[in-house]
Structure formats: structure tokens, C-alpha cells
Chain A
């Protein structure tokens, strides 16, 4: 149980996909104009990530190592098309907003990264926990970034007016550069927080990226023979 919780919770803070691993930036920057869009994207990713981790883990003994990447892609792509169809059928306005970024979940490095680095080496239950944790972390990050941008860009939150009439929308925030600036400030904030935490524990501050590469596993991975 404790390992299960560990694998689940690491995606929520320690390995938070967009902010700590800095993975999956394409949807993070592109669809977070509003909190609702970010949330919708995140839910689609949770589904795909948990299911792909589950399937890859179930099939990890069957998949020959030389064609494993192709197999992972087939699994992820099928799931994404399922999500796309379901979204069209049950949440069409959301689909109109997210547009091309729904099919692009396939090439989101988180999906392939988790399949390769975790699900292909671990049992089913742990892999699902890992996928759910990462997915929920991703959703929370996107919703948070979307909330910030929506709040300053439109003066609303999930479509509700929260700013008074004195508020003049800051249009820059909902444009593409606003996404970069917002993300940059968030990353800087998270690094500062990490270093402050380390300082209180008497450790030295970290320079450069605060995450380690092994959580992604894409470039470090060697073919399993």
C-alpha cells in the first residue's frame, strides 16, 4: 500500500510533469487560455495515461523489446482516438476549443515517457497508480496555469466573473507569449521554493534544473536486450 501511494503521489509534487519534469509543454502552453480548457485537456490525459500504463504493463512480457516503442505508440494512439471520439460525442464545445491538441496527446512525451520508464518495468497496479498520479498532477498544473491566465486575461475563473468592474483585462496573458511568461514565472517560483526548502534543511541550493533526468527515461534509456 505504501509503495502504491508513493508511486501515485510522486506525480502530484515531486515529479509534477509540466513544472518539475518540464514534460508535455506543448498542450501546457497551447490550451491553457482558460481554466476549463486546461482542465478538459488534463482529464483526457489522465484517461490516456492511466489506460496506456495499464495496457503496457499488462503486455510488458509479450512485447518484444526491439519493437516496444512502436507497440507503445499503437496503444497510446488507439486510446487517444477513443478519447477524441468520446469528446466529440459528449463534450463537443470542449473539442472545438482543444481542436488539434487532442490528437496531439499521442506525441505528448509524458505518455511515452511513463510507458517506457515505468509501466514497461512494473506490475499493473503500480503502473496505474503512476499513470493516475502523473495525470492528476498534469491536470492540476494545467488548471492552475489556465486559472492564472484566465484571471488576468479575461477577469473570469471557469467562466465566472470574479474581478470587479474596475478590472481591465490584461490581453497579453491569453496570447501565446503570455503562456511562456506565465510558465517561466511559475518555474522560477517552484525553483525558488525548492531551494528555500533545501536551505531550511541545511542543504545547499541547486543550480540549474531541479529534477533529475531519470524520471523521463527517454534519452537515458538503453534498449533492453
Chain B
């Protein structure tokens, strides 16, 4: 009996201490980790969307509250003037969510391009979302209608990766919708 109590006690104590340690390490690193994720995941996508900006969009990012939850907006500036903004949305992919960074010009009439953030698609098929051949179709595209050719639009889907293509277009449309909702707030925050 005594041995059993000791076993339970020692193991519980170990687990408690381990939990405490991990919680404090997590607390201490969480801010830095967020910064790193932004730099290495969102950063490269941003440089695919905009060119010629001179600020750090990741550092200047701002979060806006929306009814569906907060949205983080990345501004691209040149000489202190807004060139465009980007925001990240997720569509349903084949191997998990498809993270798409969608860039807009300042008045939101045109897309400046899209970049991919988190992808777990099939290599050689859905992963071809990252290739310029697909991404460049969005460059300068109007924000009025974005759809795949099979749905009457003009975005050619990747052969063999209908789900990934549909997911990315859905993400773009979601971003357009969000942009319309926060357009005024963006203009209040940054001058163009």
C-alpha cells in the first residue's frame, strides 16, 4: 500500500512540475515565436505579392476586430505612403487548410497578387499552388469576380488538383469580403 501511494505521489509530482516548467517556458517564448512565424511564414508570401516597398509589413502589421474574429492586416508602404495591404485567409485544401496571403491595391479594386503560407498539399499536384504559373493569374485581377474557369471565371485550375485550386480561390474570395468590411478602417490607419 505504502509503495503504491509513493508511486502515485512521485509520478503526479513529476507531471505537475513538468507542466509548470513547460507553461513558463511557453510563456517566455510565445512572443518571440509569433514574431519568427510571421517572418518566416508570412514574410516570404508578402514578398511574392508586393515589390518595391520599403517598410517591414510584418513589423507594421495591425489587427482589426471583426464580428467573425480578429484579422491581421499587413501594409506595404513606400516613402510613408500605403501601396497596398495584404491579409491571410484559409481555404479547404486536400491535405488540410490552404493558407493564402491575398494582396490588394489601396482602394481594393485590384489584387496585387497572392502568396502561399501554410500548405500540406500533394507534392507535384496541389503543391503547384506555389508556382508562379498559377499565382500570376491573380496579379492585377479585378476583385469583382474571382472564379475558376469551370465556374465561369477566368482562373485556370491546376490539372489534377481541383480541390486545392478551389480552396485557394475560396480563400481569395473570403479575403475580398473581409477587405470590403475593413476598407474604411484601413484608410484611417494608413494614409495612401
CB contacts (< 8 Å) of B10 on chain A: these are 62-64, 67, 71
Contact partners of A81 in chain B: CB under 8 A: 22, 25
B24-78, CB < 8 A from A: 25-26, 29, 32-33, 36-37, 39-40
CB contact between B25 and one of A70, A74, A82 (< 8 Å): that residue: A82
CB of B133 within 8 A of chain A? no
A40-78 CB contact bits vs B (8 Å, 1 = yes)? Answer: 000000000000000000000011101100110011011
Closest A residue by C-beta to B27: A85
A71–B17 CA distance with the chains assembled, in angstroms: 12
| B11→A88 contact, CB < 8 A | no
Establish whether residues A74 and B40, one from each chain, have CB atoms under 8 Å apart when the complex forms.
no
CA distance A92 to B22 in the complex (A): 19
Find chain B residues with CB under 8 A from A75 CB. 14, 18
Contact residue among B11, B32, B36 (Cβ-Cβ distance under 8 Å from A67): B11
- CB contacts (< 8 Å) of A74 on chain B: these are 11, 14-15, 18
- Note all chain B residues with C-beta closer than 8 A to A90: 32, 36
- Which residue of chain A has the shortest Cβ distance to B14 in the bound complex? A74
- A96 touching B15, Cβ below 8 Å: no
Chain A proximity of B161: nearest CB distance (Å): 22
Number of interface residues of A (CB under 8 A): 21
Specify the chain B residue showing the minimal Cβ separation from A70: B11
A85 CA to B37 CA in the complex, in Å? Answer: 12
Query: In terms of DSSP, what is the predominant structure of the interface of chain A?
Result: helix
A74-98 Cβ-contact flags toward B at 8 Å (1 or 0): 1101100110011011101100100
A71 pairs with B14, CB closer than 8 A = yes
B21 at the interface (CB under 8 A from A): yes
Residues of chain A within 8 A of B32, CB atoms compared: 89-90
In the complex, are the beta carbons of B22 and A78 less than 8 A apart? yes
Smallest CB gap from B17: residue in A: A78
**B26 and A71 form a contact (CB under 8 A):** no
- B188 interface residue (CB < 8 Å to A): no
Instruction: Say yes or no for B185: interface residue by CB 8 A criterion.
Output: no
Q: Which residue of B lies closest to A93 (CB)?
A: B40
A89 CB contact (under 8 Å) in B6, B11, B21, B36? B36
Considering the chains assembled together, what is the distance between the CA atoms of A77 and B17 in angstroms? 12
Which residues of chain A come closer than 8 Å to B6, judged between CB atoms?
64
**Which B residues lie at the A interface, using CB under 8 A?**
3, 6-7, 10-11, 14-15, 18, 21-22, 25-26, 29, 32-33, 36-37, 39-40
Beyond contacts A70-B11, A86-B25, A88-B37: 8 other A-B pairs, Cβ-Cβ < 8 A, are: A64-B3, A64-B7, A67-B7, A75-B14, A75-B18, A86-B29, A89-B32, A90-B36
The 10 closest A-B pairs by CB, nearest first: A78-B18, A92-B36, A89-B29, A89-B32, A88-B33, A64-B7, A85-B29, A92-B40, A74-B14, A67-B7
